[in-house]
């Protein structure tokens, strides 16, 4: 009768060995998963920091762009006013020259 007990004890020992192997493998995978989770957490924290810095930078950059656009618009208005004045001056000059030419033609006809 002792032989079946040894067989039974041997089978239980083998069974515990197999269960231990699977629990050890499960534990190792859990540890790896935990490490990957920590790495992902670190990456997320870094990315959140970058996003926060960008959020802080964006309003100032937008304000700078708005100011640049205002300055460019003011420059454009100034150039447009100069061009308008030059066109009006050319128009007046051409009108006076045309009037002078008409007077000259009228005098020549007389």
CA distance 77 to 23: 78
Per-residue model confidence (pLDDT) at position 101? 86
Q: How far is CA 62 from CA 58, 66, 76, in A?
A: 6, 6, 21
Q: Is the pTM of this model over 0.75?
A: no
CA distance 69 to 78: 14
Q: What is the dihedral of CA 4, 5, 6, 10, to 10 degrees?
A: 100
| SS3 state at 97 | helix
Per-residue model confidence (pLDDT) at position 108? 82
pLDDT at 1 over 60: no
pLDDT tens-digit profile of 21-74? 999 999 999 999 999 999 999 999 999 988 888 777 777 888 888 899 999 989
């Amino acid at each position: 009768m002792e032989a079946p007990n040894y067989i039974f004890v041997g089978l239980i020992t083998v069974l515990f060995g197999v269960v231990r192997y699977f629990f050890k493998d499960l534990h190792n995978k859990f540890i790896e998963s935990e490490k990957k989770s920590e790495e992902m957490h670190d990456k997320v924290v870094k990315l959140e920091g970058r996003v926060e810095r960008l959020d802080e930078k964006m309003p100032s950059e937008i304000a700078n762009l708005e100011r640049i656009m205002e300055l460019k618009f003011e420059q454009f208005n100034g150039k447009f006013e100069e061009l308008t004045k030059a066109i009006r001056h050319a128009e007046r000059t051409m009108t006076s020259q045309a009037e002078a030419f008409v007077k000259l033609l009228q005098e020549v006809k007389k």
